[in-house]
Structure 1
Amino acid sequence: TEVFLTYVNQVLVPQLWKGAIVVMDNLKVHYAERVRLSIESVGAKVKFLPPYSPDLSPIELCWSKLKQ
């Protein structure tokens, strides 16, 4: 959680603006309250993908190509 929170605070949050939407998957660390509060501190919103939604996750297409 600490490493991801550091990334959020130092890299992600400075790039956000009021009304921005951050879409995250269901990795446990993404649900940390401190992560949400950091993102919301600049007026951005956090939205989560449904529990199993590879069709909505661009990285899944990359993984499928690598597996071939």
Structure 2
Amino acid sequence: MIAAWCHQQLLAPFSFEGCCHRTVFELWLEFILIPTLKPGQTLVLDNATFHKGGRIAELVEAAQCRLLYLPPYSPDLNKIEKC
């Protein structure tokens, strides 16, 4: 499952079978999460390898949103880990 967390609410949940990789993440980002975002919002990601590279920055910037990565090894800052 992939989801976002915003204002104490789970957003854009997406359930799939198998492992998450960049292709799955980019499809979720483009077709499920980004349509729910408002310009100016910040997308905070951890440092999973599939969160970096590919079209991720391009998709987020096209939605007029910002992209911010958490420091390495900081699950205490990753709110979705507490869901």
* TM-score in terms of structure 1 length: 0.80
Bigger helix fraction: 1
RMSD: 1.3
SS at match of 1:47: strand
State the match for 2:33 in structure 1.
12
SS at match of 1:18: coil
Higher relative contact order (CA 8 A, sep 6+): 1
Point out where structure 2 has 5 or more consecutive residues left out of the alignment. Answer: 1-21
Matched pairs, number? 61
Amino acid at match of 2:51: H
SS at match of 1:8: helix
Highest CA radius of gyration, 1 or 2?
1
**Structure 1 position 35 matched with structure 2 position 56:** yes
State the match for 1:25 in structure 2.
46
Bigger strand fraction: 2
Deviating above 3 A after TM superposition, structure 1's stretches of 4 or more consecutive aligned residues are none
What's the offset of the Cα at 1:33?
3.8
* TM-score in terms of structure 2 length: 0.67
What's the offset of the Cα at 1:2?
1.1
Point out where structure 1 has 5 or more consecutive residues left out of the alignment. Answer: 63-68
